[in-house]
Amino acid sequence: MLESIGELPSHPLFVHAPVVCTPLLAIFALVLVARPSWRRQVGLALPVLSAGLAAATVLAKESGEELKGLLGDFAPNTDKHESLANTALVLILLLLVTSAAMVAADRWTQADDAAWLSRAAAALLGLSVVFASLATIWTLRAGHEGARLVWKGTVQSMIALPLT
């Protein structure tokens, strides 16, 4: 089902969403730290976008598994790539949870005027930044490993060809 879009394998297309959006979400979380007044105005965007990122990452993961199945015996050993991608997905899910909890704490702070909830929301935002940053690192590592799997043999075989 997820193996191709048109005649192209879907995995290389789907992986672009996590690779591009994860660092952007990390930057957005940092902006919310730098501008605390924006947290109540646009903070809801962080968990909403994190949910979309989680869905995109699951699509990339599922399409990768389909691609591996299609390659069968020709598939390279993708254990490291899969492990890095699974860790990135867990970190993205932790970003989703902490950012959603941050928004909830902000909403309750407005209703109860409780200073401790405001501090809790700030701490949860800090955790969101940590998880977004770690997710960025693991996503880039997974992408690098995936690119290495694809291009290592191709480039080596091109170098071995005699130039005529």
Q: Would you give the distance in Å from CA 34 to the centre of its chain? A: 22
Please say if the pLDDT value at position 25 is more than 80. yes
Please write the tens of the pLDDT for every residue from 57-67: 999 999 999 98
Confidence of residue 53 (pLDDT cuts 50, 70, 90): very high
Mean pLDDT computed over 41-70: 94
Torsion of CA 71, 73, 77, 81, to 10 degrees: 20
Please report the pLDDT score of residue 76 as a whole number: 87
**Mean per-residue pLDDT of the chain:** 90
Between 40 and 146, whose confidence is greater? 146
Q: Rounded distance, CA 77 to CA 68, Å? A: 10
Write out pLDDT tens, residues 61-115.
Answer: 999 999 888 888 888 899 999 999 999 999 999 999 999 999 999 888 777 777 8
The predicted model scores a pTM of 0.88
Residues contacting residue 39 through CB under 8 Å, at least 6 positions apart: 32, 102, 106, 121, 125
**Considering the chain, what percentage of its residues have pLDDT values greater than 70?**
92
In single-letter form, the type of residue at position 1 comes to M
Over 70: is that where the pLDDT of 160 sits? no
- Average pLDDT over every residue of 108-134: 89
pLDDT of residue 115: 83
What's the pLDDT at 161?
55
pLDDT of the residue at 104 = 93
